[in-house]
Structure 1
Amino acid sequence: MDKPILTLDKGTRCTAWNYSGQRMAAGLADGSLVVYDSTDPASSVFTRTSRFKVQDSSILKVVWVPPEYGDAVACISADGTLSLLEEVMEDSEGHHWKMCKSFDRSTSQVLDVQFGDGQTCLKLVAAYSDGHIKIYELLDTLELEKWQLQAEFQNVIDLVSKFGNASCLSASISWNPQRSEVQQSSFVLGFSSNTPPLNSPKVWEFDLDHQRWLPVAELSLPEDKSDQVYAVSWAPNIGRLYELIAVATQKGISIWHLGSNPDPDGRLSVQRVSLLSGHDSEVWEMEWDMSGMTLASTGSDGVVRLWQSNVNGEWHEQAILTPAS
């Protein structure tokens, strides 16, 4: 008989495992953050070890900071606030969580946030409901409260384009998971909005020579540029000559090959190699395994699907996981 490993608090809106899978953070409708730990190394059962108030509004998303920077999470709240909280050790109180940064609040809602490592520092990219993207960089690896705004732009190829009345329902960001001294920071981002040029997923890369972010690829066919994007996921690369990126829209999950050698204009080649259908409704999340060989997807149909390619490069559904009745 299956045994649950933890029981979530009432009002849980979102959850996230840390990088080792040894801790879970959950955001609640009342604005609280809950942390669960396994107190017995020999057991897989998790119990609540912390619960504290972050904001007065519901927490919509929780993201863990990379582990080399300590135990910390970013929280997106329904009031548009982006907060960073850190677990600290004090002799008098033991372990406890504290607010170490509340990012500049704007009139628009933060829709997604992700962390990525650059060549010199940790970076954070946040996507907003007005279609803007803000990138912050950490000034001191030992002090998580010290960030500065590095760049702000919109998800369009033409860098001078501006859309005054853009309204975005959701956004999805995925950093290139590779870490290399010679490879520049890059990420893919797409919106679900009323402004088609913002929706089409773009790959952004940091131009070290000019100290700015540039769009180097667009992952959509001409007839699909207005499609709203639900989720994106960049696969780990363990030796391929190209990058692998998954993009979910209302038409299904597209698997893209992204070239590694830019043309004279700095653009990277793209090729859609498969369009996967199977989910009966919107896809919410996609994650690759550590090898970048298997893609897991889930959505509002309540089903987890696993996708793989065969030796001929043809993608197929490898397994379907349904919740226990």
Structure 2
Amino acid sequence: MERAVVSMEDGANCSGWSYNGQRMASASVDGTVSIYDADDPTSTSSSFTCSYKWRAHEHAIAKVVWVPPEFGDAIVCVCIDGSFSLWEETDEGKTNLTWKLCKLFEIKEIRVLDLNFGNCGKNLKLAAACADGHIRVYELLDPLELKEWQLQAEFQNVSDTVARFVKPLCLSASIAWSPQRAESQRSMFILGFNSDTSQLNSSKVWEFDEAHQRWKHVAELSLPGDQGDPVYAVAWAPNIGRPYEVVAVATCKGIAIWHLGLKPDTDGRISSEKVALLSGHDGEVWQLEWDMSGMTLATSGSDGMVRLWQSNLNGVWHEQATLDGI
């Protein structure tokens, strides 16, 4: 039997679950953030109660993201005015927990469309995709000080390093980091845009080149007939032993499942193969989420439905379940 576990206040605009699923943050159109905690953390069916609430921004908040738990209890709020802020829960006494501003990132006159954290070995990175078609990568200088960040790189999501587009109109973007498995693993993320500039749109995989201290384009997840299609969402699946990586990309044509090679070729490129195209949603797909095993993909979109997808032992993908989100 279905039941509500969290009742958010009127005006709630976005929400995000913590990594362990025991906490949730929601943000509102008036810039208010609320933290909800499980009444019984040991129960899988616990209800949630608002434990803290504060005004984080003067304008509406469009996205809230939790910081990886090894760096503390903290969230990032993305505001529609082009800024985003990092807040950390601190202990001011035995029973008095409060949320304080650690860092305010401001990108003048440019709106942040999406951001995500990448846990790259001992280093925490934050990638922010902006409405000007640029990606900005920040690096945490001290793992014990969440306020100490520096801008590591800034570039546009184009394959040709010479190409630059001055004023593209980007409506949305989606970023997904490669899940970290070992400190020796390369830092990579995938990025796609929904814009009026076709060269920015198709999802591309970027890898950090340690030798030259720069980000380089290593794969483009689109076939010749798909290049330029706007990308609505991307998701990188956890890898628990497969000899390849799995990435999901939602475009106007459906949800594409891609396999990526684990080892680059002599030119540093990574092999890619489109293995499935999932269709079933009536309209755009806005969000993709993998389960912890990387075997089940949950999708949702403008039709208000949540669909669960899996592949069988022969690698054939099928729709496993459909949930009505209304």
TM bucket (normalised to shorter chain) is over 0.9
Q: Give SS of 2:174's match.
A: strand
Aligned mates of 1:237, 1:3 — CA distance in 2: 32
Q: Give SS of 1:146's match.
A: strand
Q: Is 1:28 matched up with 2:24?
A: no
Q: How does 1:252-263 map to 2 (within 5 A)?
A: 252-263=254-265
> Cα offset for 1:119?
2.7
Query: Residue type matched to 1:319 in 2?
Result: A
Q: Is 1:9 matched up with 2:9?
A: yes
1:139-193 per-position Cα deviation (integer Å, ceiling 9, x unaligned)? 1111100000100001011112110111100000000013312211100000000
Q: Give SS of 2:99's match.
A: strand
> Cα offset for 1:120?
3.2
1:52-98 per-position Cα deviation (integer Å, ceiling 9, x unaligned)? 00111101000000001111000101111111011101129810011
Aligned mates of 2:311, 2:39 — CA distance in 1: 39
Q: Quick one: which of 173, 176, 180 aligns to 1:174?
A: 176
Mapped contact 2:285–2:302 kept (Cα < 8 A): yes
> Cα offset for 1:108?
1.0
Which residue in the other structure is 1:121 paired with?
123
TM-score for both structures, normalised by structure 2: 0.97
Q: Give SS of 2:106's match.
A: coil
Which residue in the other structure is 2:78 paired with?
76
Which residue in the other structure is 1:163 paired with?
165
Distance 1:37 1:211, change over 3 A: same
1:260-313 per-position Cα deviation (integer Å, ceiling 9, x unaligned)? 221221111111001110000110110111111111100111111111111111
Which residue in the other structure is 1:239 paired with?
241
Which residue in the other structure is 2:309 paired with?
307
Mapped contact 1:178–1:237 kept (Cα < 8 A): no
Query: Residue type matched to 2:300 in 1?
Result: T
List gaps (5 residues or longer) in structure 1: none
Q: How does 1:256-275 map to 2 (within 5 A)?
A: 256-275=258-277
Q: Quick one: which of 235, 247, 250 aligns to 1:248?
A: 250
Query: Which segments of structure 1 move beyond 4 Å, counting only runs of 4 or more?
Result: none
Aligned mates of 1:246, 1:321 — CA distance in 2: 20
Aligned mates of 2:160, 2:108 — CA distance in 1: 24
Mapped contact 2:82–2:106 kept (Cα < 8 A): no
Q: Is 1:285 matched up with 2:287?
A: yes
Which residue in the other structure is 1:212 paired with?
214
Mapped contact 1:199–1:228 kept (Cα < 8 A): yes
How many residues are paired up?
324
- Relative to structure 2, which stretch is displaced further, 43-52 or 271-280? 43-52
Query: Residue type matched to 1:303 in 2?
Result: M
Q: Give SS of 1:292's match.
A: coil
Which residue in the other structure is 2:101 paired with?
99
Mapped contact 1:257–1:272 kept (Cα < 8 A): yes
Query: Residue type matched to 1:320 in 2?
Result: T
Query: Root-mean-square deviation (CA), in Å?
Result: 1.3
Aligned mates of 2:54, 2:47 — CA distance in 1: 22
Distance 1:31 1:261, change over 3 A: same
> Cα offset for 1:318?
1.0
Aligned mates of 2:6, 2:122 — CA distance in 1: 38
Query: Residue type matched to 2:78 in 1?
Result: I
Q: Give SS of 1:223's match.
A: coil
Q: How does 1:182-197 map to 2 (within 5 A)?
A: 182-197=184-199
Q: Quick one: which of 133, 141, 144 aligns to 1:142?
A: 144
Mapped contact 1:117–1:179 kept (Cα < 8 A): no
1:214-233 per-position Cα deviation (integer Å, ceiling 9, x unaligned)? 01000000111110000000
Query: Residue type matched to 2:89 in 1?
Result: E
Aligned mates of 2:283, 2:245 — CA distance in 1: 27
Mapped contact 2:122–2:183 kept (Cα < 8 A): no
Distance 1:91 1:295, change over 3 A: same
List gaps (5 residues or longer) in structure 2: none
Aligned mates of 1:241, 1:38 — CA distance in 2: 37
